Structure 1
Amino acid sequence: MVASPTARLRRLCLTLPEAAEVETWEQPTFRVRGRIFAMLHQGEHGLAVWFKAPPGSQEVLTEAAPDRFFRPPYLGHKGWVALRLGGAVDWDEAEALIRRSYSLIAPKRLAAQAAGHAATQHGG
């Protein structure tokens, strides 16, 4: 049985050190020490995950693949990006984007711990 996008995203986010799920605005948000690093959103663009991205990434992603990425309302002005979860999703790409968002939000020690765990899982 194939897991739903929500279940896959939840599993991906909650494997990160000290990650927790908190429902906010009637949507699941994923946090580390109280700070949001990813959130699931069902809205006018369909089901999407919103995540923090480094400066310049929003423009690169939304211009390169506007069918998959968009500038989310409320957080877009802060550089956040949204990835549509309808249709075919590249879950390796989604995981990399979520992990990067986590590393931008989490305390340095936890970000390093997450990076080390990812490297051992992926043979790096």
Structure 2
Amino acid sequence: MVTVADVRALARTLPRSSEHLIHDRVKFRVGSIVYVAFSRDEATMGFGFPKEERAALVATQPDLFFLPGVSDLRFNWVCCHTARLDHDHMTELVTEAWRMCVPKFLARQRLGD
């Protein structure tokens, strides 16, 4: 199970990342771009993910991942159940969502790609 505290600990290590409380929801952003957001009850987490790959992600693990609401389908976004997410998978998902928001040189500096 992953908590907001787990994501917060990781996000603090990611350059240009900041945490915000918006309408009682914890969100992590780079500038004005949200790359991770929790539901009010923290039972689900949405994160940046390429649109063209999200259907395959949901299909491979439908008990963990699900599509966002209709109004958010236009964004590069997918959601998951935090109770079913392990720490290693969260680290990968959050880091990749962050990578989508920062300049390539910064992602290379941090992740070495």
TM-score, scaled to structure 2: 0.84
Q: State the match for 1:19 in structure 2.
A: 17
Distance 1:91 1:4 in 2: 6
- For residues 58-91 of structure 1, give each alpha carbon's deviation from its aligned partner in whole angstroms, at most 9, with x where no partner exists: 10111111110011123233231112102x4221
Higher relative contact order (CA 8 A, sep 6+): 2
Are 1:61 and 2:57 counterparts?
Answer: yes
CA-based RMSD: 2.2
Query: Residue type of the partner of 2:96?
Result: R
Contact kept in structure 1, 2:2 and 2:87, CA below 8 Å: no
Contact kept in structure 2, 1:51 and 1:101, CA below 8 Å: yes
Count of aligned pairs: 112
Are 1:84 and 2:81 counterparts?
Answer: yes
Distance 1:115 1:9 in 2: 17
TM-score, scaled to structure 1: 0.78
Residue identity over aligned pairs, in percent, reads 26
Q: State the match for 1:98 in structure 2.
A: 94
Runs of 5+ consecutive residues of structure 2 not aligned to the other structure:
none
Distance 1:80 1:18 in 2: 20
Shift of 1:100: 0.9
Query: Secondary structure in 2 aligned to 1:109?
Result: helix
Query: Secondary structure in 2 aligned to 1:77?
Result: coil
Contact kept in structure 2, 1:17 and 1:113, CA below 8 Å: no
Distance 2:30 2:90 in 1: 18
